[in-house]
Amino acid sequence: MRSSGHILRVPIRLFSIVALTLGVAFCIAPGTSLACKHYDEYGFSVCVDLESSAYIRLPNVKRTLFNPTTEKFFTRHADNLEFQRNALHVVLDGSPHAISEALGFAVRWHLELQPFYDSTYDFTGSGQGMYSILGDQLRTNINGRLADSYDPLFREYYLDLLPQNFFIRLGRQIIPWGKSDGVYMLDILNNFNLVNPENFNEQNVKIPVWAANVTWNATPTGSLQMVFIPQYFPTYYAGLQYKGGFPVQGGFGDFTYNSVAYANNILNGEFGVKLPTNVNLPSTRLNNWTYAARWSDQIADVHYTLNYAYTWTSTMISYPNTGNNLTASAFNLHPHRIHVAGGSADYDVDVGNEWVDGTVFRVESAVTTQDVYYEGIVGNPIDVTHWGALFGVDRIVLKDYLDKPIFFSFQYWQDWVLRRNNNCTTCGPFANKFQDVGFNGGPSGMRGLYKSLSTLYMDKTWMTGDILDTYTSVVYDWQYSDWWIQPQATYRVTDYTTIGMGFNIFAGSKQSPYGEFTNNTNVFFFLRKTLL
Amino acid sequence: MKYQKTTVGVAVLGAVFSTMLWSPLVQKAQSAESSATTSATAGASTTQAPTMVAGKPYSIEPGKDPGTFVVKWGDASMIWKAKPWMEPVLAKAGPAYLAQWSSKGLTYPYELPVDQRDKLPAGQYLDRCFAYGENFPPDAENQWDEAVARIYLPDGSVRTETDLLEIASAFVSGHGRQYLPASQAAQVARIYKWTATTPEELRGQGGTTTVLTDPNLDPQDTLYLPTVRRTRRLAGAVAKQYFPGTIYRYEDVSYLQALPQLNYKIIGFELFNPPDTFRGYGPNDVPQNQRLGGAGDVNVIIEITPKPGVSWWYAKRIYHCGLIDMHFWYSEEFDANGTMMRRFVQMPMTGSKLHLGKLDGPPASDLWTIWGYASVQEFNSGFVEEGFDTTGGFNAEVPASVYAPVSLERQSMTIQEWLE
């Protein structure tokens, strides 16, 4: 157990790391270069940016964790440095004119590299660096470890083909669906890297997938999109790492969900028996592909989509070899096939009435069949059919009072389990409830058939040129009464340098989805620097 | 292919027609010793500079110094001089060049003879001068450009620079209908699409504005955000709001028509003699962006005020639109105390400096214009924004789905990609 004296080293070393990063960023970047460099004679351009961020825990707390080696619990001070990530973002785009002319239509290529290094795992002796097993897979994506499955070095790379009336993108890419913010019913073609689940920049935290993404522009407003994804990448989160058939940790990572730590500790022998897990990812055979289609169009002033996907559960599911967690001697971890069908629409009110004009209403809905929830205290995986629906309203407010008014957005989302195995006799107490991400063994971490949450988002820019941008995002879970609040300010120092800071504030009961991270409440800083 | 030949034919015809128009004017203007003037008293054809504008005699005569002209309108007069930023044809021909937009046989917004142009309802000048005269040529299928917008600090240094790609279509003359579904053909007046390519913080952001034919309905906007790679409907962007990242208002960029929240009244006419302090008219104001200036035109002066009960970003706006060429030239905005808060200047480029079809296509008709330069001077803060086109043109062979929201998701970064 470390004495409090060691803790003081963390802020000083942190300051040194951050200051060094900032200093390097400012020194190596030319003061007045143009953004991106274009090589017209070769037909490509390159842009390079550096992003550095640090998340500092605010509460001074201890954590009780399970050591898979000693199979005992221990209590240790929770490090204050949650993340200190440095990522270089290199984007190359090109248009090979000779190929375009030969084919008779435009061809473009895109290559995006994003090497990153998280120095959190270098603070040995305190902090995440104490858990060297974490650093091996989370420190960087240039060591050939797991990062390619969740935060790849070669992040996106694809060819765009534009024959008449078609848009075809082939390669590793991000394919967004849906009209919701922060809620993902239809936006399921890319799973998420949740090592740091506080990051809203989806293009940096979605896991790119290899895909053939074909869009037929059938009409000036209507398009049919078909997507074929050969390889499954599950949602990645702290605690998913396995070695020798056993989880490498049961809560070491700062944002390990309670439910993951709870399960991992059991697998690692919390109750005296270690239970191995066989991890199986689907192969890339045709019958394991994801097949998805979307029709987008508008009717009058309503923009709508109709979506269907035959895909996999967003996370891997842990199946007991006996069918019952209570009697299992081993587990199989693999995803389950699901069908997702739904649609979305938005409407901008424009009826000549100033009180309602300019209000945007959004709806999104999806039915998912053969999804898997963990039912009851025992938590046996059960097939479910559930219906998700979201209603959102956006409006710019105070426009008569503020030169730069406030963008206001409110969403209400619900998830309703419509069908399940009604008589789960092996699920133990609370068999009509399901384990949520905050579950840590007790019923307060379980949700019912119906779950809902709301989001509130407000954004305002300031100063000439909108160079200061502030927003506040709030998520509230109605069933658990827990909160997540993220205010943030971003300031564009120059066209090449942006700085920002914010807070992530979690509140609620210990087994609620956001309340479980109450002790992770943090302040964060970031710097973005255009280098080329 | 058929429509392309037709538009090329129109362009060629237009170029020939415009050449026929101003050639004799140029010859006469350059003859300092000639007794012939560019006024109607010389017996010129109707393609010459008008002789009466807004009820007063109008004339253009060569000035004392070579390359200058004396323009008279009623009792007012001004000396016209060439400036480094002028398109060569204007610099050579002088203010009589502007008269080509008062020729007979032209389509909207130039179809009215000059002697009827001062009698229009006040609000109509915004459509004619600003929306269609300068920004959305009704005879083109589309117009496109690559532009730079810089915000200057009060000390004159550049605070931020944004690079933009734009494309737009106007449907009032029946052109461009292939970009609309049949159900919308009668409802939509114009569509404008934009994206920012620099700086990094804005790169990839873009949006569309759809202006409806019903003047009582607000335009509809979408916004593409690269962080989530999605296009969303933009809640109630109002004309008075700032265009993202700039100190232009939506009223300057895409909400160009008469707005239902405002009153419009003609309060007079003037012979336009812009001083060099008008940002854009100074000799050193972005000379590489060759464009037109309105010096020598006769402007209708329109007072624009918010209707009772409407809160607006100005108490009064004075709007100046040229009657000879039907182009918006500048506006000045005043607060409730009568203090001038801002001046907005816009200066078009003609087809002679733009391209037809492709990036390296031939010049288009002189009669077709797009915005070439636009400046905002905010007098309270001292900030200035200056935007100008670096290239542009008309009738790019873009797909019919060019304005579909999903098109922004391709995140085009060059003008070539933008037009594919």
pLDDT at B317 over 60: yes
DSSP string, A465-503: GG-EEEEEEEEEETTTTEEEEEEEEEEEEETTEEEEEEE
Share of chain B above pLDDT 70, in %: 88
Q: Which residues contact A286 (CB under 8 A, 6 or more apart)?
A: none
Q: Please give the pLDDT value at position A137.
A: 81
- Using the Cα atoms of residue B280, residue B282, residue B283 and residue B285 in order, give the sign of their dihedral: negative
A51: distance to nearest CA of chain B, Å?
12
Tell me the helix, strand and coil percentages in chain A, rounded to 5. 15, 45, 40
Note the pLDDT of residue B31: 31
The whole-number average pLDDT for the span A240-263 is: 92
For B258-279, letters b (16+ CB in 10 Å) and e give bbebbebebeebebbbbeeebb
Q: Which of B159, B230, B405 sits opposite A176 (nearest CB)?
A: B230
Q: Which residues of B touch A44 (CB under 8 A)?
A: none
Question: Above 50 in pLDDT, residue B9?
Answer: no
Residue A35 is predicted with a pLDDT of: 66
Residue B377 pLDDT greater than 70, yes or no: yes
Whether residue A24 is contained in a domain is answered as: yes
Residue A136 pLDDT grade (very low, low, confident, very high; cuts 50, 70, 90) = confident
Query: Cβ contacts (< 8 Å) between A215 and chain B: which residues?
Result: 406
Q: How does pLDDT run across A263-285, given as a tens digit for each residue?
A: 999 999 999 999 999 999 999 99
- Non-local (6+) Cβ contacts of A234 within 8 A are A191, A240, A281, A312, A314, A315, A316, A335
- Number of compact structural domains in chain A: 1
Mean pLDDT of A436-446: 95
Per-residue pLDDT band at B255 (split at 50, 70, 90): confident
- pLDDT over 90 at A514, yes or no: yes
Bridge partners of residue A367, in order along the sequence? A341, A387
Mean pLDDT along residues A212-232: 95
Give this prediction's pTM. Answer: 0.87
**pLDDT value of position B260:** 84
Q: How high does pLDDT run on average in chain B? A: 84
The mean of the pLDDT values for chain A is: 89
Is residue A441 assigned to a domain? yes
Query: Per-residue pLDDT tens for A291-344?
Result: 999 999 998 889 999 999 999 999 999 999 999 999 999 999 999 999 999 999
Residue A126 — pLDDT band, cuts 50, 70, 90? low
3-state secondary structure of A397: strand
Mean pLDDT value across residues B143-147:
95
Q: What is the mean pLDDT of residues B314-337?
A: 96
Q: pLDDT of B106-129, one tens digit each?
A: 888 999 999 999 999 999 999 899
What's residue B134's pLDDT?
Answer: 74
Which of A237-241, B190-194, B301-305 has the highest mean predicted lDDT (pLDDT)?
B301-305
Half-sphere exposure for B32 (CA within 13 Å, toward CB)? 7
What secondary structure letter does DSSP report for B134?
I
pLDDT at B333 > cutoff 70: yes
Distance from CA of B410 to the nearest CA of A (A): 9
Contact A358/B236, CB-based, under 8 Å? yes
CATH number of the structural domain spanning residue A239: 2.40.160.10
Q: What is the pLDDT of residue B30?
A: 31
pLDDT band at A200 (very low <50, low <70, confident <90, very high): confident
Chain B's closest residue to A349, CA to CA, is: B236
B151–A528: do the CB atoms touch at under 8 Å? no
Q: Using 50, 70 and 90 to split pLDDT, how confident is the model at B184?
A: confident
**Nearest CA to CA, how far is A134 from chain B (Å)?**
28
Cα gap A187→A164, rounded to integer Å: 27
B202 contacts on A by Cβ (under 8 Å): none
How far apart CA A442 and CA A428 sit, in angstroms, is: 12
Kindly indicate the confidence band of residue A15, based on its pLDDT and cuts at 50, 70 and 90: very low
- Is residue A316 domain-resident? no
Residue B336 confidence (pLDDT): 95
B322, pLDDT greater than 90: yes
For residue A526, the model assigns a pLDDT of 97
pLDDT value, residue B234: 83
Give the lowest-confidence range in A21-30, A249-258, B78-87: A21-30
Exposed e or buried b per residue across B46-69, where buried means at least 16 C-beta atoms within 10 angstroms of its C-beta: ebbbbbbbbeeebbbbbbeeeeeb
Whether B400 has a pLDDT exceeding 80, the answer reads yes
In this predicted model, what pLDDT tens digit does every residue of A357-369 receive, in sequence order?
889 999 999 999 9
CB-nearest to A495 from B199, B417, B420 is B199
pLDDT(A26) > 80: no
Q: How far apart are CA B361 and CA B397, in angstroms?
A: 11
Sorting pLDDT into bands at 50, 70 and 90, what band is A506? very high
Is the pLDDT at A166 greater than 90, yes or no?
yes
For the stretch A87-105, pLDDT in tens is: 999 999 998 989 999 999 9
Nearest to A210 by CA among A177, A235, A232: A232
Cβ–Cβ below 8 Å for B235 and A360: yes
pLDDT reported for residue B250: 86
Residues of B in Cβ contact (< 8 Å) with A465: 151, 159-160, 245-247, 383
How far is it, in rounded angstroms, from Cα B111 to Cα B123? Answer: 17
Residue B36, pLDDT above cutoff 50: no
pLDDT at B407: 85
Model confidence at B206: pLDDT above 80:
yes
Of A35, A350, A409, the CB nearest to B217: A350
Work out the minimum CA distance from B40 to partner chain A, whole angstroms.
Answer: 48
Query: Does residue A529 contact residue A88 with C-beta atoms inside 8 Å?
Result: no
Q: Which amino acid belongs to residue A42?
A: Y
Q: How many residue pairs bridge chain A and chain B with CB atoms within 8 Å of each other?
A: 172
Kind of pairing between the strands at A242-243 and A302-312: unpaired
Percent of the residues in chain B that have a pLDDT greater than 90, as a whole number:
58
User: Shortest CB distance from A352 goes to which of B217, B399, B417?
Assistant: B217
Looking at per-residue pLDDT, the higher value among B7 and A434 belongs to A434
Q: In whole angstroms, what is the distance from residue B9 CA to residue A190 CA?
A: 49
Residue window 401-440, chain A: list those with CB within 8 Å of chain B: 401, 403-405, 407-409
- A220 touches A297 (CB < 8 A): no
Q: The domain containing residue A31 runs over which residues?
A: 4-311+321-530
Does position A371 have pLDDT exceeding 80, yes or no? yes
For residues B365-383, give the mean pLDDT.
93
- In this prediction, residue B404 carries a pLDDT of 86
Query: With 0-12 CB in 10 A as exposed, 13-18 as middle and 19+ as buried, what is B416?
Result: middle
Alpha carbons B244 and B230: distance in angstroms, whole number: 17
Please name which of A171, A141, A167, A178 lies closest in space to residue A156, comparing C-alpha atoms.
A171
Q: Which residues of B touch A103 (CB under 8 A)?
A: none
pLDDT tier for residue A40 given thresholds of 50, 70 and 90: confident
Residue A12 resides in a domain: yes
B414 vs A contacts (CB less than 8 Å): 38, 45, 93, 95
| Listed range (A154-158, A197-201, A365-369, B372-376) with the worst mean pLDDT | A197-201
- Confidence (pLDDT) at A38: 87
